Structure 1
Amino acid sequence: MSTLDRRLNAFRPDLADARLKGQVEAARFVSGTPAAVSLPVADVHSVPDAASGVDTQFLCGDTVLVFEERDGWAWTQADRDGYVGYVRTEAIAPGMPEPTHVVCVQRSFVYPTAELQSPPLTTHSMGARLAVTGETEERGTRYALLASGGAMIARHLRPRGRPTVDFVSVAEEFLHTPYLWGGASGFGIDCSGLVQIALFMAGREVPRDTDMQAEGLGVPVREGAPLGRGDLVFWRGHVAIMLDSEQVIHANGFTMTVSRELLAEAVRRIEPLYGRPVGIRRLGS
């Protein structure tokens, strides 16, 4: 039996990614077809059933490989973090324009025209990648014109390839965002989703889930060592970001929001339910 992580490798008894041939058994192997997420947010499930739990979310502009489309579902793998799962077929499209910009505020509206008084068409989350074809100015407000149609506030977008220096400051922009299991956007987010999107905006593509982050990010910090801004504190199934030597910011099920908290208080509160922290990781530059 294969020991490959099914979250990061597309294989089933009947179908598997052609790149896994020789590593797994499957009735048929296929090469994925490139596509991209076309909706603001696409929920990702481990099975093709909307009633099943959401494992993560893909954002507009995320590129994926599609291994199968059937009964309104697409079995996909994201290029950004390698996550495998099922999304609704209407959430993806082939041949989308190459993104030029990324949304750099928590949420931002798309207007039908360059007019902020017009009813918005939709809303994008921080991290969404969009193709901008030009800019225009109306009454002192600059708008970015989208290849997909519509306009957004230009200052809410920045060109790709210009990351934020301090990923913790990105996490702070999500204060009071609702906690959502599997959430990875400005509409709702979980603890590891907060870490991932904050680091993504700082130019680092990192794993999605807490166990992956605890194993693969940075270097361990010895127990009792002084902690500082940007250190990651891990419990089993949970992660928090140090704001300074005493405070953390984390998406949590206690407040059901992204909130600030003293680390010592978080440790005391979480310990009876899930134990003490199991590790601390420090990211390099």
Structure 2
Amino acid sequence: MTARDARLHAFRPDLADARLKGQVSAERFVTGRPARIAASVADLKKSPRDDSAIDTQLIHGDEVLVFDETPGWAWVQAERDGYVGYVVQSAIVPREHAPTHRVIVPRTFVYPGPDLRFARAGELSMGALVTVTGQAETRGTAYALLSSGQAVVAGHIAPVEAVAEDYVAVAETFLNTPYLWGGVSGFGIDCSGLVQLSMLMAGRSVLRDTDMQEASVGDPIVPGADFSGLRRGDLVFWKGHVAIMTDAENMIHANGHTMMVSREGLREAVERIGYLYGGPTSFRRP
């Protein structure tokens, strides 16, 4: 049988996605149950343990398929990018209300009603999906009323069909956001998470990890010896890292050096990163 990437295909020795029957070995095959992420952000882990490292994250409204549930944990696959892992069971709910809007700012608060003076009821990241059922205005501020009975600032969301014109401009709104390994939200993000979320807001769904993006996003390009020919939006890859060019000479990336999303000159980054990880492995143009 052809080897399958366990990050993108749900299979274990005891259980596998029914769609993989005949492609992988497992004791039994099941059809995934549709569900949705209800938590603000849900860590997706390789193992169903609190101390297991984060592989990636799911954000509010993301659709998943649930293949198995054990006390406290659910084994799921994200519909958006295919990633497989374990989330806490309390983070998932049935798919009831179809999302109508998406959060378009890095972070926003959820209120129990349409008033910013109310004690906040939660928070949402850019990319989170919500269902709007009405509108209200309090002291000149417009609010969207949600199917949950809660409210968010109307200017912080847009219809799900709306897309940003420039994914790099979206990435730039995350400047100074804390770096988080496996993070893909406005509360903490890593290098490939920044690429994925920014492109999502521009209407493009891409795979999650750096190696996946390096193999699939856009087309490979070969800049000049001094990195000439690069332009805004081009991606620069190193082993295990990716950055977004903001112009011909500068880039933005979530990185462990500054521990946040930062701007940096490409040549300076190449020199700094090369000490530990070598030079760029490729360049791609989305």
TM over 0.5: yes
Residue type matched to 1:201 in 2? M
Contact 2:223–2:230 (CA under 8 A) maintained in structure 1: no
Deviations 1:157-201 (A, max 9, x none): 000111000000000000000000000000000000000000000
| TM-score w.r.t. length of structure 2 | 0.98
Distance in 1 separating the partners of 2:69 and 2:141: 42
Question: What is the CA distance between 1:124 and its match in structure 2?
Answer: 0.2
In the other structure, the counterpart of 2:258 is 255
Deviations 1:30-75 (A, max 9, x none): 0000000001100000111110110000001000000000021100
**CA RMSD, Structure 1 to Structure 2 (Å):** 0.8
Quick one: percent identity of the two aligned structures?
60
In the other structure, the counterpart of 1:230 is 233
Q: How many residues align?
A: 283
In the other structure, the counterpart of 1:103 is 103
Residue 155 of structure 1 pairs with residue 155 of structure 2: yes
Distance in 1 separating the partners of 2:262 and 2:79: 30
Question: What is the CA distance between 1:96 and its match in structure 2?
Answer: 2.9
Q: Pairwise mapping of residues 4-83 of structure 1 onto structure 2 (< 5 A)?
A: 4-83=4-83
Deviations 1:122-144 (A, max 9, x none): 00000000001011111111000
Q: Pairwise mapping of residues 129-168 of structure 1 onto structure 2 (< 5 A)?
A: 129-168=129-168
Tell me the secondary structure at the aligned position of residue 14 of structure 1: coil
Tell me the secondary structure at the aligned position of residue 281 of structure 1: strand
Distance in 2 separating the partners of 1:26 and 1:174: 42
Contact 2:37–2:62 (CA under 8 A) maintained in structure 1: yes
Distance in 1 separating the partners of 2:131 and 2:141: 20
Residue 197 of structure 1 pairs with residue 160 of structure 2: no
Tell me the secondary structure at the aligned position of residue 117 of structure 2: coil
In the other structure, the counterpart of 2:283 is 280
In structure 2, the gaps of 5 or more residues are none
Question: What is the CA distance between 1:2 and its match in structure 2?
Answer: 4.8
Distance in 1 separating the partners of 2:193 and 2:148: 27
Deviations 1:3-43 (A, max 9, x none): 10000000000000000000000000000000000011000
Question: What is the CA distance between 1:272 and its match in structure 2?
Answer: 1.1
Distance in 2 separating the partners of 1:223 and 1:157: 38
Residue type matched to 2:209 in 1? D
Q: Pairwise mapping of residues 80-91 of structure 1 onto structure 2 (< 5 A)?
A: 80-91=80-91
Deviations 1:75-102 (A, max 9, x none): 0000000000000000000133110000
Tell me the secondary structure at the aligned position of residue 227 of structure 1: coil
